[in-house]
Amino acid sequence: MAKSKPETQESTLRLDLARRLHETLAQDLAVIGYQLDEIIGDTNLDKKHRIALRKIRFSISQTTKSFRDQIYQLKLTSREQLSKQVVEILGEIKLAADFTYPEFDPKVEEALSQIILELARNTSRHSKATRFYLNFKENEESIEFEIGDDGIGGVKPKDFRFGLASIDELLIQISSSYSSSSKSDGSSFKFQIRKSGSDNA
């Protein structure tokens, strides 16, 4: 019986921990916050105690936000993990990708990783391509990406048959503009992400 690779085991453990923390502590903190809101809204509560409770409520809100951010970090896919996953997905398809693009804030970074992985899956399953590529160009205000393959084309981002609807949704969320092309000599997605979503902005 084949053993799981260490990085796969680590990723699974991180995701499981993130799920359990979200289902327990994060939700418990949210409930405590709602209970405090009810007390603060009590008309019989005097002004002094209402002000004190609002300060506590604000502190809990900040703690909850910080805790959720930490949970989200546990879910993140590192560049090294991303590269390995793309290679595994593509199999014998040649990978020509530059993963050294500037780091974005965690939510944008993770969404971009999911876009790259889904496009790699589509190339592997449907395109009959021999090459999958990822290029980027850094401009003054944004980073331009082009991701594609040299396959047979024929798919559109909103074509649910090929699982690309999620890519369309993610690109709308994180990009300032994007376009796609799918022809007989390959498919490509071009999009820009503003540097305001980058840690290097």
Host H or E run for residue 107 = helix 106-122
Which single residue is written with the structure tokens 């709602």? 34
Band the pLDDT of 72: cuts 50, 70, 90: low
Which single residue is written with the structure tokens 């939700």? 27
Strand 94-97 with 131-138, pairing = parallel
73-83 confidence digits (pLDDT tens) = 666 667 888 89
Looking at residue 27, its pLDDT comes to: 72
Homologous superfamily in CATH for domain 79-197 = Histidine kinase-like ATPase, C-terminal domain (3.30.565.10)
Candidates 33, 197, 196; CA nearest to 112 is 197
Residues in the chain: 201
Alpha-carbon torsion angle 28, 33, 39, 43, nearest 10: -150
92-147 confidence digits (pLDDT tens) = 999 999 999 998 988 898 889 889 988 998 899 888 999 999 999 999 999 999 99
Looking at residue 23, its pLDDT comes to: 61
19-64 confidence digits (pLDDT tens) = 666 667 777 887 888 889 999 999 999 999 999 999 999 998 888 7
Amino acid in the structure at residue 194: R
How many C-beta atoms surround the C-beta of residue 140 within 10 A?
5
Residue 145 in contact with residue 191, Cβ under 8 Å?
Answer: yes
Residue 173 in contact with residue 109, Cβ under 8 Å?
Answer: no
